[in-house]
Structure 1
Amino acid sequence: MTARPPSPRAVAGWILRHPETPTESEQLQLEAVRTHCPELNALARHVRSFAAMLTDRKGERLPDWLDAVIAGLTLPWNSGVVEGHVNRIKMLKRQMFGRAGFQLLRKRVLLA
């Protein structure tokens, strides 16, 4: 029997916190996640690098980050389609609030 993976919210919290703040158990779990997912490992490195730039006042490193922001704003890839689906699901959830259980909500999302 394997343990349940941590929630995305928990992993985001571990990545965004100061490196000395998480408990030993949380640090071990984050290391396991980073080992199994190279994308999250890269993300954690970027977050730590940006945080170090801010806390150590290393403004000379800002142009590298601005290049990344400019690329993100100008390249044709985006998450617009995904955001549209999320918005639709949230609207259905609000319409169904307090009226029915998860099974009916699931059917409405799948059939809508």
Structure 2
Amino acid sequence: MLGGRRQPRPSQLDPCKPYLDKRWAEGHTNAVHLHAELKEPGYRGNYQTISNYLRPRRRRRIRVIGPAPPGLRQVTGWIMRHPDRLSESEGQRLAEVLTRCPELAAAHRLVRSFAEILSTRTGRHLKAWAVRARAEELPGVHSFAAGLEKDWDAVVQGLTSHWNSGPVEGRVNHIKMVRRQMFGRAKLPLLRRRVLLTAAR
């Protein structure tokens, strides 16, 4: 009939459409996998035919977009901060991340226990901490523990005694800053005088 709607041409995919509908309803939406499944019982069509049949469904499917996952720097900040300084939402998100990643949960435990040693000056517990660190499959923590062992006595003393080299390091950094400021502007006598005057304050 002239002017009438043209009937779709028969396709070798027609007998397979009920199977595709069923698999789509079950959540199997990968056209490559569905094509491989249909080839076993004897389907001779190509992958593109299946993809074209499923395309309208993909357009109608509603994508639920959740919040973006936290970035590496954000998670690191949560782990390095004291738990009391985390907001309720930050604590919940950190707990979710740790639940999904056992390696990160192990790293979090080691970081918190090392922070406890650092804040309470209990260097006598450092040996046990290093043993636990080596037992975990965490290359970064292994490297950190190995670095501590290179100067073990000094590290243990620093985590035990209340005396430290902080004031000395601060003065050294201040002298370096003065030297950079005066570079190319003055000779040694003026540089020496300025360092001595600022140190006397």
TM-score by length of 2: 0.33
Instruction: Determine which structure has more spread, i.e. the larger CA radius of gyration.
Output: 2
CA RMSD for the aligned pairs? Answer: 2.3
Q: Does 1:58 align with 2:134?
A: no
More off after superposition, 3-12 vs 62-71: 62-71
Give the corresponding residue for 1:40: 104
Q: Does 1:17 align with 2:62?
A: no
Counting matched residue pairs gives 73
The alpha-carbon distance between structure 1 residues 51 and 71, as it changes in their structure 2 partners (threshold 3 A), is closer
User: By how many angstroms is 1:57 displaced?
Assistant: 1.3
The alpha-carbon distance between structure 1 residues 64 and 70, as it changes in their structure 2 partners (threshold 3 A), is farther
Matches within 5 A, 1:59-74: 59-66=123-130, 68=134, 69-70=145-146
C-alpha distance in structure 2 between counterparts of 1:10 and 1:34, whole Å: 13
Give the corresponding residue for 1:99: none
- Identify the structure with bigger relative contact order (alpha carbons < 8 Å, sequence gap 6+): 1
1:77-111 deviation line (CA, Å, top 9, x unaligned): xxxxxxxxxxxxxxxxxxxxxxxxxxxxxxxxxxx
Greater helix share, structure number: 1
* Gap regions ≥5 residues in structure 1: 74-112
| Aligned partners of 2:117 and 2:123 also within 8 Å | yes
1:44-89 deviation line (CA, Å, top 9, x unaligned): 100000000111111111223455423998xxxxxxxxxxxxxxxx
C-alpha distance in structure 2 between counterparts of 1:25 and 1:17, whole Å: 14
